[in-house]
Structure 1
Amino acid sequence: MVEELLRGLKQLPGLDGPLSARVIDDGDAVAAWEGPRLAAVLFPTGETLGDVRRIAEAHKDGLVLIVNPQWVTEGNVVSDLGFLPWARKANEELIASFQETYVLKQLRISSDDVRLLRSYPAPWQVNLARPDNPSVNECVAQLAERPPYKELEGILRGVSWSMSSKPIGERLAYEAQFVRKSLHPLPRQQQLDKGE
């Protein structure tokens, strides 16, 4: 997929030319493609941010893509972006220098299945699966900026049919039902287990 995307981008004026590919980290499948004015890093981790920084600096006048970054920027006690405050700050600034152009992130918040979507230049969308029909997702909010977790919680509480708007007892019963269903094998697996 990434190679196909890069082939398409190379058709644009100023981004043409050969690309060299290399593996940055075998264990985490981190790879990079670099050309004169075009570069991409696939699956970068917190440990490979130094490589991302070198690639970004080498292509200041071009286009650099980060595809499926694997770092987590919030919620961790030990940060993926570095332990020392100045290192973390430098890595946060590096990440902030990139514009998020396509994001699809699935979250589970207070028993609600949420999909956060951004497809540039459209605004951020908060899509919520209906508890009574999980295959149906509805857009419940559009925002100019990526919403932090606390803001998502508030948005969900404001949707009358969301689980987040329900009393705690109802949410716990729904979550228990969800867990029970997740413990059952899939229908095909049941057939295989029975030798059918």
Structure 2
Amino acid sequence: MKSFERTILHCILFQFLVISACAFVPSPTKSTFPLRATEDSSSTVDNRKKTDFTVPLSVEEMVRQVAACMKQASSDGLDKQIIRVLLPRDASNADFGKYWEQESRGNSVLVPNDESWQGGIMQLYRSAAPTGAEIVRQYTNKDVGLPPRITEDRSVDESGVDGVGLLKTEDPSIACWVQPTQETVQDYIMDTLNDDGTTIILMNPQWRLVDDVLDSASQGEGFLSGLASFLGGKGSVLKRLNAAGFQPVYTLEGYVCRGANVRLLQTYQADWQVFCERDDGETYIPVGSLPSRPTYQDVEQMLKDANIGYKYARDIGLQPKL
């Protein structure tokens, strides 16, 4: 079938699916998939607690937090882990209106891996790969002896531009997939699973935590679910990851709410914690927690309950500074 005809077919199928899914699928703002690979681990741990961690202010601090959670999960026998982290970026590159970004000069900040990265997924990879290597190095840190040698395999990215890589060590045996796609899971990860004791880590998967219509529809059963998965919904991938035993052990994400930077942090066997950045841009204050991932509306309500108004009002003196 010609590519043009395939495109027309996909458009027709997508429109049919949206109309059908809107009638049967609940709100897409929050995942309804009951399995643990939804990366909302509230359904898998009964004795949850508030995390002892706060928002990391440096790469080193974040790496230590991630490694600590990974070690705790490993001690419980969990050798298939999912982590989501912020990425280091030169502080000057956060300015709007620049046509290109400067190379990092050591003054880096931790920022979400969102659309603000002008270089796209490959620029994200250039930051994610060394961050992943540091996490693996910290996770395998030994009191004595040399740290294991870490090798990077880019052959798993057949196109060369999907921003996927594989970091491996031999002793102990670790495979850290950096920014895996749904295709990576289907074509590589699931076909290479075995019981040889290798710890497998998925770092910053390229599917979102929140669901759109396709994601919600693909997490059900039957014809609509299969069609939604065919069109890009993540449901089939999450089902396979769940069946293989993957669980999230560290998630740190962020966005802007009421004009301020907020951070969502969920660590192994702990509730989701929400933090709001102070106006000095250097520290964060906790504003609430939930057993499951808070929606944007949840976060906004937490800010209101904490008497945190819009940032512009604080900037012009209508409200006190945080």
TM-score by length of 1: 0.60
| CA shift in 2, pair 1:9/1:108, >3 Å | closer
Do the aligned residues in 2 keep the contact of 1:112 with 1:162 (CA within 8 Å)?
no
Q: Give unpaired runs (5+ residues) of structure 2.
A: 1-130, 317-322
Pairing of 1:1-196 with structure 2 (within 5 A)? 1-10=131-140, 21-23=152-154, 24-25=156-157, 26-34=160-168, 37-50=173-186, 51-55=188-192, 57-58=193-194, 61-76=197-212, 79=215, 85-86=225-226, 87=229, 88-95=234-241, 97-130=245-278, 133-163=280-310
Alpha-carbon deviation of 1:123?
Answer: 3.7
Do the aligned residues in 1 keep the contact of 2:264 with 2:275 (CA within 8 Å)?
yes
Do the aligned residues in 1 keep the contact of 2:137 with 2:148 (CA within 8 Å)?
no
- Alpha carbon RMSD of aligned pairs, Å? 3.8
Do the aligned residues in 2 keep the contact of 1:30 with 1:45 (CA within 8 Å)?
yes
Identity %: 24
- Counterparts of 1:33 and 1:59, CA distance in 2: 19
Do the aligned residues in 1 keep the contact of 2:258 with 2:309 (CA within 8 Å)?
no
Alpha-carbon deviation of 1:105?
Answer: 0.8
- Counterparts of 1:139 and 1:104, CA distance in 2: 14
Do the aligned residues in 2 keep the contact of 1:21 with 1:33 (CA within 8 Å)?
yes
- The one-letter amino acid paired with 2:265 is L
Q: Counterpart of 2:191 in 1: which secondary structure? A: helix
Alpha-carbon deviation of 1:18?
Answer: 7.9
Q: Give unpaired runs (5+ residues) of structure 1.
A: 164-170, 178-196
Do the aligned residues in 2 keep the contact of 1:30 with 1:44 (CA within 8 Å)?
yes
Alpha-carbon deviation of 1:66?
Answer: 0.9
Q: Counterpart of 1:156 in 2: which secondary structure? A: helix
| CA shift in 2, pair 1:143/1:78, >3 Å | closer
| CA shift in 2, pair 1:73/1:60, >3 Å | farther
| CA shift in 2, pair 1:73/1:52, >3 Å | farther
More strand by share: 1
Alpha-carbon deviation of 1:59?
Answer: 5.0
- Counterparts of 1:162 and 1:62, CA distance in 2: 48
Alpha-carbon deviation of 1:4?
Answer: 4.0
Do the aligned residues in 2 keep the contact of 1:46 with 1:82 (CA within 8 Å)?
no
Alpha-carbon deviation of 1:65?
Answer: 0.6
- Counterparts of 1:133 and 1:6, CA distance in 2: 32
Task: Report the count of equivalent residues.
Answer: 161
Do the aligned residues in 2 keep the contact of 1:37 with 1:59 (CA within 8 Å)?
no
Alpha-carbon deviation of 1:107?
Answer: 1.1
| CA shift in 2, pair 1:61/1:85, >3 Å | farther
Give deviations 1:143-188, integer Å, cap 9, x for gaps.
Answer: 443333343333233221233xxxxxxx8x65xx9xxxxxxxxxxx
Match of 2:12 in 1: none
- Counterparts of 2:277 and 2:200, CA distance in 1: 34
| CA shift in 2, pair 1:40/1:76, >3 Å | same
Q: Which gives a bigger RCO, structure 1 or 2 (Cα 8 Å, sep 6+)?
A: 2
- Counterparts of 1:121 and 1:65, CA distance in 2: 17
| CA shift in 2, pair 1:133/1:75, >3 Å | farther
- Counterparts of 1:110 and 1:149, CA distance in 2: 11
Q: Counterpart of 1:54 in 2: which secondary structure? A: coil
